[in-house]
């Protein structure tokens, strides 16, 4: 069955550093993968989409990579700020054209 793993449940970093979050998937080959941000008690908000033929995508301080050989996506936040503290979810497209979400990584950026 399709499986999605985000490498750690929680990540704590110092303000100004780069946060790197990992998403691994098994047993399928998604045509694209999305990253979302979720704040406590609120719905996820879309951040970035990367397609299987793209190696890297950037948006302001965010960067996403997609390695279809390793079946892995990395999500980077450079020059992190306390306002970046949230849970980040990866979502590779499922085989039935639906979306499947990882459990998320809770990022805390300390001032």
Binding site for another protein (CB under 8 A): 4, 9, 32, 34, 36, 41-46, 49, 89, 91, 93-94, 96-104
Q: How far is the CB of 7 from another protein (least distance, A)?
A: 14
Q: Which is nearer to another protein, 62 or 99 (CB)?
A: 99
In order, the DSSP letters of 18-67 are PEEEEEEEES---SEEEEEEE-TTS--EEEEEEETT-SEEEETTEEEEEE
Which residue's CB is nearer to another protein, number 15 or number 39? 39
């Amino acid at each position: 069955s399709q499986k999605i793993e985000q490498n750690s449940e929680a990540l704590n970093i110092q303000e100004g550093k780069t946060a790197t979050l990992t998403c691994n998937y098994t047993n399928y080959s998604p045509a694209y993968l999305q990253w979302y941000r979720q704040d406590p008690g609120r719905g996820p908000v879309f951040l970035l989409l990367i397609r299987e033929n793209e190696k890297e995508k950037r948006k302001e301080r965010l960067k996403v990579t997609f390695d279809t050989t390793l079946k892995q996506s990395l999500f980077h936040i450079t020059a992190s700020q306390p306002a970046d503290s949230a849970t980040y979810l990866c979502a590779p497209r499922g085989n039935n054209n639906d979306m499947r979400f990882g459990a998320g990584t809770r990022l805390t950026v300390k001032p």
